[in-house]
C-alpha cells in the first residue's frame, strides 16, 4: 500500500469522525427533552398524577416540540443511507421515544400507536425506524402498564386494571404475528415476546385478585 493511499484513508476517517461527533451532539441534546418527558410521565404513578392523567399528558406533549426540533436537525445531518452506521448511538434513545409516545397515546386514547404514527408524532420523515426497535419500545410499554395496574389498585381505581388487561391482550395478539424461531432461545424476538407475555400474566394476576374479591363492576 502506498503512503498516499493511507493519507486518503486518514482523510476519510477524519471526515467520518466529524460526522459522528455532530450526530453525538444532537443525540445528547435530544436526551434532555426525552428525559424530561420520561420523568413527567412517571407522575402517573403518584396519587395526584394518577387522578389527573389528562393534564400529565398535556404536560408531556409540550416536550415533544423540542424532540421534533432535535430530530429535524438529525435529519439534516444524516442521510437515510448513513443512518444505520450510527445505530449504537441512537437505538436506545429511539426505543425510549417509542415507549414514551406509545404510552402517551395509550393514556390519551386507549389504543396502540402504529409505527407510522409514531414516526409522525416525533417528526421523523426521512429516516427509517426499525420494527425491532418499535417492538422493544412496546415491551417497555407493557412493563409500564403492569406498574400502572398495580398502582391503580393502591389508589382504589379498580376498573383500570381490567382496561389495561384488555389493552395488553390486544397488544400481545399484535405482537404474536411476528415470526419466532422456537428453537433459538437467545433470539431477541423470543425474549421480547416472553416479556410481553409475562407482563400480560402479571396484569392478569392483579385483575384476578380484584375479581375474586368482587371488586369489579
Partner 1 sequence: MADRKKRGGGGRGGNNRRFDKSHSKVAKKSDDIVEDSPLIRAFISYRDELNDNYDRYERLYKISRDITIESKRIIFQLHLVSTDASKEKILEEAKTRLDKLIKYNFADLAKELEGHSRYQYVRAYTSGVQEFVEAITFYHYLESGTICSWNDILSQMTYHVSSGRKDSVQNEESDTVKSDDMSDDKLSESENKEEMNQSVEPIGEERKVALFIPDWDFILGLEDLSGELMRHSIKCVSSGRIEETFKACDFIRNLYTSLLTLTQVHNREFFKKLNVMLQSLLKVENACHMIKLRGSEVSQDLLVHMIGTFNTNEDEECSYD
Which listed range, 102-110, 127-135, 166-174, 201-209, lies at the site for partner 1 (CB under 8 A)?
201-209
Binding to partner 1 (CB under 8 A): which residues in 34-63?
35-36, 38-39, 42-43, 45-47
Cα 54 to Cα 44: distance, rounded to the nearest angstrom: 10
Instruction: Report yes or no: 212 and 161 within 8 Å, Cβ to Cβ.
Output: no
187 counts as binding partner 1 under rule CB under 8 A: no
* Rounded (5°) CA angle 210-211-215: 65
Instruction: Report yes or no: 164 and 203 within 8 Å, Cβ to Cβ.
Output: yes
In the list 69, 115, 147, 189, the residue contacting partner 1 (rule: CB under 8 A) is: 147
Measured from the CB of residue 118, what is the shortest distance to partner 1 in angstroms? 18
Burial status of residue 121 (CB atoms within 10 A of its CB: 0-12, 13-18, 19 or more) = buried
How many chain residues are in contact with partner 1, going by CB under 8 A? Answer: 31
DSSP class of residue 113 equals P
Residues lying near partner 1 in the complex (CB under 8 A): 28, 31-32, 35-36, 38-39, 42-43, 45-47, 92, 96, 140, 143, 146-147, 150-151, 153-154, 156, 195, 198, 202, 205-206, 209-210, 213
Amino acid at each position: 500500500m502506498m503512503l498516499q493511499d493511507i493519507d486518503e484513508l486518514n482523510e476519510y476517517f477524519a471526515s467520518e469522525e466529524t460526522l459522528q461527533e455532530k450526530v453525538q451532539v444532537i443525540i445528547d441534546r435530544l436526551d434532555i427533552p426525552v428525559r424530561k418527558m420520561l420523568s413527567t410521565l412517571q407522575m402517573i404513578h403518584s396519587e395526584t398524577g394518577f387522578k389527573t392523567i389528562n393534564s400529565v399528558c398535556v404536560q408531556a406533549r409540550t416536550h415533544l416540540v423540542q424532540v421534533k426540533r432535535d430530530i429535524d436537525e438529525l435529519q439534516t445531518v444524516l442521510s437515510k443511507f448513513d443512518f444505520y452506521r450510527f445505530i449504537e448511538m441512537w437505538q436506545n434513545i429511539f426505543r425510549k421515544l417509542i415507549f414514551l409516545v406509545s404510552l402517551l397515546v395509550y393514556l390519551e386514547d386507549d389504543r396502540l400507536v402504529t409505527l407510522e404514527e409514531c414516526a409522525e408524532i416525533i417528526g421523523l420523515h426521512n429516516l427509517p425506524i426499525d420494527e425491532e426497535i418499535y417492538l422493544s419500545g412496546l415491551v417497555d410499554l407493557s412493563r409500564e402498564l403492569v406498574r400502572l395496574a398495580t398502582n391503580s389498585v393502591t389508589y382504589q381505581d379498580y376498573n383500570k386494571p381490567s382496561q389495561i388487561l384488555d389493552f395488553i391482550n390486544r397488544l400481545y395478539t399484535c405482537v404474536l404475528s411476528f415470526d419466532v424461531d422456537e428453537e433459538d432461545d437467545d433470539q431477541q424476538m423470543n425474549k421480547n415476546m416472553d416479556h410481553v407475555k409475562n407482563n400480560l400474566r402479571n396484569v392478569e394476576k392483579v385483575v384476578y385478585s380484584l375479581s375474586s374479591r368482587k371488586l369489579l363492576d
